[in-house]
Amino acid sequence: MRSFQEQYTEPEIVRLAEGLQKKPLEEALQILEGLPAEVAGEVLRHMTPEISSELLARLERREAVEILEEMAPDSAVDIMEELPQAEREELLREMEPPEAKILEELISYPPDTAGGLMSPQVVALVQDLTVEEAIAVLRRAASEAETIYYAYVVDRERRLLGVLSMRDLIMSHPKKTIAEIMHRQVVAVTADTDAEEVASLFDRYNFLALPVIDRANHLLGIVTVDDVLDVIRQETTEDMHRLVGLPKEESVLSPLRAALKRRIPWLLVNLITAFLTALVVAPFAETISAVAILAAFMPVIAGHGGNTGTQVTTLVVRGLAVGEVALGDLWRIVRKELAFGLIHGVLAGVFTAALALLLTQNPWLALIVFVAMVGNVLIAGIMGSLIPLALKRLGQDPALASAIWLTTFTDICGFLLLLGLGTLLLGRMIP
Ligand code: ATP
Ligand code: MG
């Protein structure tokens, strides 16, 4: 076991990391400098790579190298990937050659693949060992290995032959050989397997780790479930962010300068779509001045359509991401949303019309409000499913600002319906 664990327990380290993450960089840096390298490594591992790399870059190079050498290679790579190329090469040059070689190789895999997630520190057994000997090997490997819960069985060329869990080993007779008890049907991923696909394999088989192999079946490393949790969280965050035009790396803790650069462009696009809405409303100025109360219902119709559609969009985007929905389901989804929209639209319409009647005692106005509400909710249901599916069809990320397009659409349709009907029936509303 690692020695620092006598001074710092794992929960303490996690809490320390969470605390540092919120502190100004300078302050965090000072605290980090006061920690032993192995503790600092553990702390950095629990922070978002964007911030931990920033801290690492500001440390003295000697110190940064020492910390990286102490860290598990897959965690060290997560941080180094965030650094500029030149900085990264400097660090690698100063490292002990064996460590540098491992990290260099891991960095060569794209971060969103199994290779980018894996740790090379995997326990490999040869098949003629006895169970007893295998457990001894595991005991010796324990301090360095990413996990000792699974051991993979390989031949002399390190080709993957089988797998054993710690439970398999402990429950088998000590004199049996590994070849006798190993599972030969191994689920494995190649280094270039997409991280999302790796995550869905974990979801499917419920293993705690999966072996990573190359095309010729040589064991390269292991991906553990904790790394995959990060992937799942990142993918979900990314989808949520994309829906509203935020870059995936944005967080409330991002520095102001970066936030300005990354968030303003999409907000400007959003503003321009709002102008479109204004252009739709402008020609109706006369109607609005004749029946000013119509203006009071504009945000109700538009907003409710937007909310309805966003629900659908969120469901479709999530459904596509987890593979629950495919493009072929388009008509099924639209049909259901139409039925849903009709029932919900009538409900919301009656409710809003009743309010309109109460406020104005004008049945024609109530009718207009009712029709506009039903119409806009129906449109929202259709567009809410169509926009993400269309983006997917066009080969784009279905989450790509879907919510922004959708609300632009529901705003415009809501206003057109309400003000259009109002103009048509102006004579009826004002007897
Ligand atoms: P426990 O249920 O206490 O976790 P276990 O031995 O059942 O112990 P699991 O993680 O549930 O361990 O794994 C179930 C079985 O799947 C084990 O026998 C294990 O050897 C096997 N196994 C593990 N990884 C793989 C893999 N990549 N491919 C095929 N089988 C695997
Ligand atoms: Mg089990």
Nearest ligand atom owner, CA of 207: 1
Q: What letters, b where the CB count within 10 A reaches 16 and e where it falls short, cover 3-37?
A: ebeeebeeeebeebbeebbeeeeeebbeebeebeb
Are the CB atoms for 410 and 306 separated by under 8 Å?
yes
Nearest ligand atom owner, CA of 151: 1
Per-residue pLDDT of the chain (431 residues; tens, 9 = 90+): 445 445 789 999 999 999 999 899 999 999 999 999 999 999 999 998 889 999 999 999 999 999 999 999 999 999 999 999 999 999 999 999 988 999 999 999 998 899 999 999 999 999 999 999 999 999 999 998 999 999 999 999 999 999 999 999 999 999 999 999 999 999 999 999 999 899 989 989 999 999 999 999 999 999 999 989 988 888 888 888 888 888 888 888 788 998 899 899 988 998 999 999 999 999 999 999 999 999 999 999 999 999 999 999 999 998 988 888 999 999 999 999 999 999 999 999 999 999 999 999 999 999 999 999 999 999 999 999 999 999 999 998 888 888 889 999 999 999 999 999 999 999 988 87
Cβ of 171 less than 6 Å from ligand 1? no
CA 11 to ligand 1 centroid distance, Å: 27
Bridge-based pairing state of the strands 189-190 and 209-213: parallel
Cβ of 202 less than 6 Å from ligand 1? no
Q: What is the dihedral of CA 229, 224, 1, 165, to 10 degrees?
A: 130
Are the CB atoms for 366 and 415 separated by under 8 Å?
no
Cβ of 210 less than 6 Å from ligand 1? yes
Q: For 68, left (φ over 0), alpha (ψ -120 to 50), or beta?
A: alpha
Nearest ligand atom owner, CA of 202: 1
Nearest CA to ligand 1 atom 19: 165
Nearest ligand atom owner, CA of 182: 1
List the strands of the sheet with 189-190, edge to edge: 189-190, 209-213, 219-224
Nearest ligand atom owner, CA of 205: 1
Cβ of 186 less than 6 Å from ligand 1? yes
Rg, the chain, Cα only: 29
Could you give the CA distance from residue 370 to residue 89 in angstroms, rounded to a whole number? 66
Report the predicted TM-score, pTM, of the whole model to 2 decimal places.
0.73
Cβ of 13 less than 6 Å from ligand 1? no
CA 225 to ligand 2 centroid distance, Å: 15
Give me the count of residues in the chain: 431
Nearest CA to ligand 1 atom 13: 207
Token look-up 């190079």 returns 61
Are the CB atoms for 268 and 327 separated by under 8 Å?
no
Are the CB atoms for 383 and 223 separated by under 8 Å?
no
Q: Which atom of ligand 1 is nearest to the CA of 167?
A: 6
Cβ of 198 less than 6 Å from ligand 1? no
Could you give the CA distance from residue 306 to residue 203 in angstroms, rounded to a whole number? 33
Nearest CA to ligand 1 atom 15: 165
Q: Which atom of ligand 1 is nearest to the CA of 208?
A: 10
Cβ of 164 less than 6 Å from ligand 1? yes
How is residue 12 written in tokens?
Answer: 């303490």
Are the CB atoms for 212 and 235 separated by under 8 Å?
no
CA 165 to ligand 1 centroid distance, Å: 5
Q: Which of 51, 78, 54, 56 is nearest to 67 (CA)?
A: 56
